[in-house]
């Protein structure tokens, strides 16, 4: 009798234990891993302008799961106003911070979008605009569907790690600013904007010798501007481009594969007494770097058949090291 009761009791206990185990092992949705996201802006400058004022209103991130995370970008001195940034104050590797350590889930993201307050001739003081060297002002506009005074710069595909993530929107103004005929507005096109992870990018810095600059101007005298000046710049191309040029087929919807990835002006540094350039936020890899004195005739909208590159050389950017490059007569 005692044996039978013991067996029955054991069976009941096992059954209850099994039921309890089933409840404990029920699947639960794991909490997403958190990370922080910081975003700044910088630019590769353009000649002929002394201010490029972009008014950033909001930054939105969309995860591959479809969730959106949106952050207002407000003036640090007046939280009722969106943030205006003169991009020409932040050239090379100088950065203006738009967002700082915002909490977002780690993982893969489909896109990031910057909402820009488009220029308004009736209110240029608080909307996007450019200022020319002579002091004249023109509205700066980013196109998008609709007509509500807000433009969009949207870039695809990036990853946020389970760490502090620091990114920069790099504006290559030589590629993105367009001055259309018969219009009082200047257009800012997203094709000249890159999103770069600061922890995964390096700088390319370098010099161009006086002799090479003189030779380039002599050999291209027919391309000189009306005042006899030249536009000195360097262009960065993928190593896959067979013949780097700037006469690629222009496409409104996307940047052509053979287009330059980044550009930088060559400027004279009176302290160092030499011509210098800097390309910031470049992902490690193999590239081709080219010097030209014909940048003044480069039109971002047209095929420039007479545009020439004077010297092209292969370069490799490695992780954790900035690259120094010298353009001289003898390669």
pTM of the prediction? 0.83
What is the pLDDT at residue 17? 46
Residue 289: both structure tokens together? 């770097």
Whole-angstrom CA distances from 203 to 129, 279, 294 are: 29, 6, 24
Q: Are strands 68-72 and 49-63 parallel, antiparallel or unpaired?
A: antiparallel
59 — phi, psi (to 5°)? -120, 130
Q: CB 161: neighbour CB atoms within 10 A?
A: 12
Are 71 and 99 a contacting pair, CB within 8 Å? yes
Cα 302–chain centre separation: 22
Q: Which residues, 6+ apart, have CB-to-CB distance to 28 below 8 Å?
A: none
Intervals of the chain under pLDDT 70: 1-32, 145-147, 245-255, 303, 331
Are 90 and 42 a contacting pair, CB within 8 Å? yes
pLDDT, tens digit, 9 for 90 and up, residues 282-330: 999 999 999 999 999 987 777 677 888 999 999 999 998 899 999 999 7
| Beta bridge partner(s), residue 172 | 44
Task: With residue 228 as reference, give the H or E element that holds it.
Answer: none
Whole-angstrom CA distances from 70 to 104, 112, 194, 217, 281 are: 10, 10, 20, 49, 25
Q: Which of 242, 266, 250 is nearest to 299 (CA)?
A: 250
What is the pLDDT at residue 246? 57
pLDDT, tens digit, 9 for 90 and up, residues 97-117: 999 999 999 999 999 999 999
Residues 96 and 116: their CA atoms lie apart, in Å, by 16
Residue 8: both structure tokens together? 């029955």
Are 190 and 154 a contacting pair, CB within 8 Å? yes
Within 25-143, residue ranges assigned H as helices are none
């Amino acid at each position: 009798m005692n044996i039978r009761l013991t067996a029955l009791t054991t069976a009941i206990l096992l059954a209850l234990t099994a039921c309890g185990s089933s409840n404990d092992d029920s699947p639960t949705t794991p909490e997403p891993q958190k990370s922080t996201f910081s975003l700044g802006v910088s630019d590769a400058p353009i000649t002929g302008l002394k201010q490029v004022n972009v008014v950033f209103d909001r930054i939105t991130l969309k995860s591959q799961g479809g969730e959106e995370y949106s952050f207002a970008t407000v003036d640090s001195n007046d939280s009722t106003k969106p943030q205006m940034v003169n991009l020409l104050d932040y050239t090379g590797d100088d950065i203006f911070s738009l967002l700082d350590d915002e909490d977002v889930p780690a993982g893969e993201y489909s896109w990031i979008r910057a909402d820009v307050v488009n220029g308004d001739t009736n209110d240029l003081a608080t909307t996007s605009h450019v200022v020319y060297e002579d002091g004249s002002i023109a509205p700066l506009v980013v196109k998008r569907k609709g007509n509500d005074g807000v433009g969009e710069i949207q870039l695809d595909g990036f990853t946020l790690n389970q760490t502090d993530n620091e990114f920069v929107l790099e504006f290559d103004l030589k590629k993105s600013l367009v001055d259309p005929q018969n219009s009082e507005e200047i257009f800012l096109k997203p094709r000249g904007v890159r999103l770069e992870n600061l922890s995964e990018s390096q700088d390319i810095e370098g010099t161009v010798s006086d002799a090479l600059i003189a030779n380039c101007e002599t050999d291209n005298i027919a391309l000189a501007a009306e005042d006899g000046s030249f536009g000195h710049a360097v262009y960065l191309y993928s190593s896959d481009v067979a013949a780097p040029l700037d006469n690629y087929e222009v496409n409104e919807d996307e940047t052509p594969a053979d287009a330059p990835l980044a550009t930088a002006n060559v400027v004279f540094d009176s302290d160092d007494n030499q011509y210098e350039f800097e390309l910031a936020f470049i992902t490690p890899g193999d590239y081709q770097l080219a010097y030209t004195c014909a940048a003044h005739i480069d039109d971002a909208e047209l095929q420039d058949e007479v545009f020439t590159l004077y010297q092209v050389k292969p370069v490799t950017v490695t992780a954790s090291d900035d690259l120094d490059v010298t353009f001289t007569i003898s390669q």
